[in-house]
């Protein structure tokens, strides 16, 4: 018997979502396209209801219509699946090296990825017994231009994309140290490209400094950033080689072939 966690419903509480899941399950059971009639029969939904939900899913590219009256799973599901796969792989590859780095420096180590115009923290390594620390919450978000990892991602963009980001966000600041002017940001990104690391000098939060190194996949694509955050007067530049080595170790685990620094 299938067991569920206490207090968690076995089925969605919103009927249309339950129906949507049922339709996707039917489509997933077959490699070829399926007719509307067969989908309706297998789910027990009225053809008009089936047609309406499938059309909405097609708008979002979750479902394809190779020809009138037939449906199959869409490419959007593949795109999302690849995103999740990449994120989980990065986390799995990073967790042990992150913990080892934390043991060496006794400061929190963060793993974060880009989502749109922000980074999101997806993992961390820290100890509650390490005294004064800067601990980022998993799931927390921050603007790209105010964070060390975010700057790595911006540095990987071409100049036109960086300018578009600046226009969209207005480069709003959080502290008196925040970079809010595009020319200053561009100079900062140029340094990040040159040295392969980036820093946050009390730009997101006063009293907190960070340094970050990039994590790359087998296609040489920047997929995440590994950062050390610490009280401003405790961040040690001597940690940087260890940070870079750890980021490279994770990258190699993802299939990346590193080039000598």
Q: Quick check: 134 and 110 in contact, CB under 8 A? A: no
CA distances from 100 to 55, 67, 94 (A): 50, 54, 10
Mean pLDDT of the chain: 88
Q: How confident is the model at residue 75 (pLDDT cuts 50, 70, 90)?
A: confident
CATH of 82-253, one of 3.10.20.30, 3.40.1050.10, 3.40.50.20, 3.30.450.40: 3.30.450.40
Q: How confident is the model at residue 257 (pLDDT cuts 50, 70, 90)?
A: confident
Domain ranges of the chain: 15-73, 82-253
Structure tokens at 11: 């089925």
Q: How confident is the model at residue 87 (pLDDT cuts 50, 70, 90)?
A: low
Which of 106, 95, 94 minimizes the C-alpha distance to 133?
A: 106
Structure tokens at 236: 């040690």
- To the nearest whole percent, how much of the chain has pLDDT over 90? 63
- pLDDT score of 8: 44
Helix ranges (DSSP H) in the chain: 15-28, 36-43, 47-59, 75-105, 148-156, 159-169, 182-195, 240-253
CA distance linking residue 111 with residue 152, whole number of Å: 13
- pLDDT score of 11: 60
Mean pLDDT value of segment 214-243? 93
Task: Report yes or no on whether pTM surpasses 0.85.
Answer: no
Lateral strand order in the sheet of 70-73: 34-35, 70-73, 63-64
CA distance linking residue 202 with residue 19, whole number of Å: 49
pLDDT for 13 beyond 80: no
Fold of 15-73: Arc Repressor Mutant, subunit A (1.10.10)
The yes-or-no answer to whether 15-73 and 82-253 have a common fold is no
Express each pLDDT in 145-173 by its tens digit.
999 999 999 999 999 999 999 999 999 99
């Amino acid at each position: 018997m299938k067991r569920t966690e206490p207090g968690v419903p076995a089925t969605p509480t919103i009927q249309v979502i339950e129906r949507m899941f049922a339709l996707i399950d039917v489509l997933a059971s077959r490699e070829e396209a399926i007719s509307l009639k067969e989908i309706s029969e297998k789910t027990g939904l009225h053809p008009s209801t089936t047609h309406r939900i499938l059309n909405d899913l097609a708008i979002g590219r979750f479902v394809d219509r190779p020809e009138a009256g037939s449906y199959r799973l869409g490419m959007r599901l593949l795109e999302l699946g690849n995103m999740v796969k990449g994120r989980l792989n990065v986390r799995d590859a990073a967790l042990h090296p992150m913990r080892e780095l934390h043991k060496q420096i006794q400061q929190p180590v963060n793993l974060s990825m880009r989502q749109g115009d922000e980074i999101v923290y997806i993992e961390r390594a820290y100890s509650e017994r390490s005294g004064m620390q800067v601990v980022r919450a998993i799931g927390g978000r921050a603007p790209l231009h105010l964070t060390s990892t975010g700057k790595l991602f911006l540095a990987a963009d071409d100049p036109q994309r960086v300018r578009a980001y600046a226009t969209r966000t207005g480069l709003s600041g959080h502290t008196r140290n925040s970079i809010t002017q595009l020319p200053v940001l561009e100079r900062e990104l140029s340094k990040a490209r040159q040295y392969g690391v980036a820093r946050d000098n009390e730009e997101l939060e006063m009293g907190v400094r960070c340094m970050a190194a990039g994590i790359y996949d087998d296609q040489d694509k920047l997929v995440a950033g590994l950062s050390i955050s610490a009280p401003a007067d405790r961040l040690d530049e001597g940690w940087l080689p260890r940070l870079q080595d750890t980021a490279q170790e994770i990258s190699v685990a993802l299939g990346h072939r590193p080039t000598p620094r």
